[in-house]
Amino acid sequence: MEQAIKIQNVIKKYGKKTVLNNVSMDIPKGCIYGIIGPSGAGKTTLVKLMVGAEKADGGCAEVLGRKMPNLKALQNIGYMSQSDALYADLTGGENLAFFALLFKMARSRQKERIAYCAGVVDLHNEMKKRVSAYSGGMKRRLALAAALIQDPEILILDEPTVGIDPELRAGIWRELKRLKDEEGKTIIITTHVMDEAEKCDYLAMIREGVLIESGSPDELVKQYGVDRLEDVFLKAGRDRK
C-alpha cells in the first residue's frame, strides 16, 4: 500500500524532557488515520513534525516521499493547529481569501473554494463579520475551513472538533469521510474522544511519548478481546509498563 506519511524512529526532546520516544508509523494514502491519547501524550508534537513546524532530534518524518521540513510538500498539506492561526481584525471571508492567495489560485477558483469551505463549516452567513467577534467554536470552524482552502492532498487536523456542537461535528465527519471516499484524500486527525477514534480507518495510540498500539479499530478491539477502544487503550498501556 502506498504511503502518504512515514515516521521513522522519531525522537523529540524539549530540554531534558523526551516528548516522543522512538515513534514509527506508516500512514497509507486515502485513509482517515487517528492519533489518540491523553493531553500531553505527544500528539501535537507529532503532527508538528509532519508539517515541518518542528524538527526531530532523531529519526525523520517523510510526507509524500519528501523529508520534512520541506516547502514543496507544504503545498499539498492542509494543517489545522490547536491554536487558531487567524487574523482577528479581518472578516471570515478576508481570512479565507488571504490563505487562498498563499497558494496562488485564480480568482474564480478562490471564490469557489471559499464558498465550499464556508459551507462545510456552516459559516456562510458569518463571512462578513470580523473574526474578533467570533465565538471560540466559530474560530475553530473557520480554522478548519482555512485548512481546506487549497484542496490539499493531505489534511492534518489537531483536535478539529473541540468546542463544536454535536450536530455540526457530525456534519464535519461526514464531509471528511466523503473527501476520503470520493477524492482520495489522506486525513490525519488527533483526538482524545473515543467515538471519533471509532470513525477512523486506522489508529495510533500514544501514551507518554510512546506508540503503544496501532491498527484498525475493529482489529484492535478483537485483538485485545474487549468491547471498547477505551479498554484497548487502557490494556495496551498497562502491558507496555
Could you tell me the pLDDT band of residue 106, with boundaries at 50, 70 and 90?
confident
Interacting residues of 174 by C-beta distance below 8 A, sequence separation 6+: none
Say which range, 85-94, 101-110, 124-133, 150-159, has the weakest mean pLDDT: 101-110
Q: Where are the domains of the chain?
A: 1-76+154-241, 82-151
Q: Which string of DSSP letters, residue by residue, matches 104-125?
A: T--HHHHHHHHHHHHHHTT-GG
Q: How would CATH label the architecture of 1-76+154-241?
A: 3-Layer(aba) Sandwich (3.40)
- Per-residue model confidence as pLDDT tens digits over 119-133: 999 999 999 999 999
Strand order in the sheet with 154-158: 77-80, 154-158, 186-191, 32-36, 202-207, 210-215
- pLDDT for 52-76, tens place per residue? 999 999 999 999 999 999 988 988 9
Residue of higher predicted confidence among 79 and 194: 79
- For the entire predicted model, the pTM comes to 0.93
Angle between helices 107-120 and 92-101 (to 10 degrees): 130
